[in-house]
A = this chain, B = another copy of it.
Amino acid sequence: MQPNTAAFVEKVAVFFDAEGFSRIAGRVFGRLLVSDVALSLDELAEQLKASKASVSTETRLLERRGILERVGKPGDRKVYYQVAAELPVRTFELRLDRMRRFRVLVQEAPARAGGGSGLVRDRLDEMDAAYAHMLQALGRAVTTWRQRPRRRAALSS
């Protein structure tokens, strides 16, 4: 692996770290982001200097979140990982999910659910309205991106 690539991978790793992921998860993602071929567990473990155990755990986590995909090769028992086809959309949906989860937290706040009125109530209502506004805008943006006009793409099937 080129030193340039290694540096990039590490940057992605610290970013993921700050986002609540493990560092190895970030390395795996970063590595696959700049790979033009799918990589096996062993390849990832070796290139990232991490144990196969960690790589196995983290790849499955990332796969569950729709960030990675497993692919097979004919006549090969190994599992290969690559970045998800709809990666950008997927990452935005993950962000949307986080926002939605926080919104329900606000909605279920006792000061709000319990009726009543006052400063706190108003504040929470405003938060909720703001989240409604932003979530709608974000959802629409994802949709328009999905439907964006594309250059003639290579057929994949």
Among B102, B108, B109, B148, the residue within 8 A (CB) of A15 is B102
Among B18, B110, B114, B133, the residue within 8 A (CB) of A144 is B133
Among B7, B83, B138, the residue within 8 A (CB) of A134 is B138
Among B83, B98, B130, B148, the residue within 8 A (CB) of A123 is B83
Q: Counting CB contacts under 8 A, is A53 at the interface?
A: no
Q: With A4-B110, A35-B120, A101-B15 in contact, do A137 and B141 touch (Cβ < 8 Å)?
A: yes
Give A87's nearest chain B residue, CB to CB. Answer: B127
Q: In whole angstroms, what is the CA distance A1 to B133 when docked?
A: 32
Copies of this chain: 2
A46 proximity list for chain B (CB < 8 A): none
Q: Counting CB contacts under 8 A, is A88 at the interface?
A: yes
Give a binary string over A83-124; 1 marks a CB under 8 Å from any B CB, 0 the rest.
100011100100100110110010011110010001110011
